[in-house]
Amino acid sequence: MVFVRYSEYNHLMRIAVISDLHGNSVALDHVLKEIEGSNVDQVVCLGDVATLGPQPLKTTHRLQEAGCPCLLGNHDEFMIDPARVREYSKVPVVVKSVEWCHSLMTPKEIAFFKSFKTEHDMITGSKRLRFFHGSPTSNSEDVIASMSPAKLEQLIGKTEGDVLVFGHTHLQMLVQHHGRHIFNPGSLGSPFKDLFFCEAPTIFSHAEYAIIDVKGQQVDILLRRTQPDMQKLKKSVRDSEYPLKEFLLQQYESAAG
């Protein structure tokens, strides 16, 4: 766990939260450029950096340059131990895509993934913010808006904090639970239309992230959607050899149509 006290009570603290980049360096560059113009004090990445996208190395290197706290997503674990993907997915093209991604990684990138933490914990103003990839106990467990209050309490009830932030589902979410803010910034690199179970997901071409403003007891949470250049997105896919390229190109063509 990483715990940091960031600011005094009456200072405005602005935090950008990105998650589930999935090898989409075009979207990452676009979002980081927006963040740079938004007077952000801190960026936090919730993980799932490289896999299932066309430019895993470029995305990983760009995130390294950003120098932000990063959390260990389940797909980041696959880069450390690629055999684990077979425990998570039985879909051949997904397994093949993860293995292709891992084949590109050098010991330098693997060491970067090994540096990721399981959570990030910070206090700013009077608020404590907790960041996770999946749930507080598992980076492959979903926290979703449609959960019953009882189920949500079962997952997060013992987790302290005024604002709890989760990724993994690729779905933006903002709910209030027993007076606490619970939210998901969505996916920067591969936003889903619906929760993914067995059938192939519908993937949007936009990028998703979130901005949190904290000042004293005031908390403002903004879920953002922004459109990277479509031609750059398509070119990044066409120029790649990753196994899901035809599927993703079809998704982008549908979004453009």
Domains of the chain with CATH codes: 2-256 (3.60.21.10)
- The set of residues, in sequence order, having a beta carbon less than 8 Å from that of 158 and lying 6+ positions away, is 136
Asked if the model's pLDDT at residue 40 lies above 50, the reply is yes
**Cβ-contact 203, 190 below 8 angstroms:** yes
Please give the share of the chain, as a percent, with pLDDT higher than 70.
94
- The set of residues, in sequence order, having a beta carbon less than 8 Å from that of 111 and lying 6+ positions away, is none
Please give the share of the chain, as a percent, with pLDDT higher than 90.
87
Cβ burial, residue 115 (10 Å; 0-12/13-18/19+): exposed
pLDDT of residue 3: 42
Q: DSSP alpha helices (H): ranges in 85-179?
A: 85-88, 92-104, 107-114, 149-156
- The set of residues, in sequence order, having a beta carbon less than 8 Å from that of 63 and lying 6+ positions away, is 21, 28, 45, 49, 70
Cα angle 244, 250, 254; round to 5: 145
CA–CA dist 197, 1 (Å, integer): 30
Q: What is the mean pLDDT of residues 231-246?
A: 96
Kindly report, residue by residue over 148-179, the tens digit of the pLDDT: 999 999 999 999 999 999 999 999 999 999 99
What's the pTM? 0.94
Phi, psi (degrees; rounded to nearest 5) at 139: -85, 5
Q: Encoding tokens for residue 36?
A: 């740079």
**Cβ-contact 150, 143 below 8 angstroms:** no
How does residue 2 score in pLDDT terms, banded at 50, 70 and 90?
very low
**Exposure string (b/e) for 191-226, b if CB count within 10 Å is 16 or more?**
bbeeebeeeebebbbbbbbbbbbbbeeebebebbee
Kindly report, residue by residue over 114-123, the tens digit of the pLDDT: 999 999 999 9
How does residue 58 score in pLDDT terms, banded at 50, 70 and 90?
very high
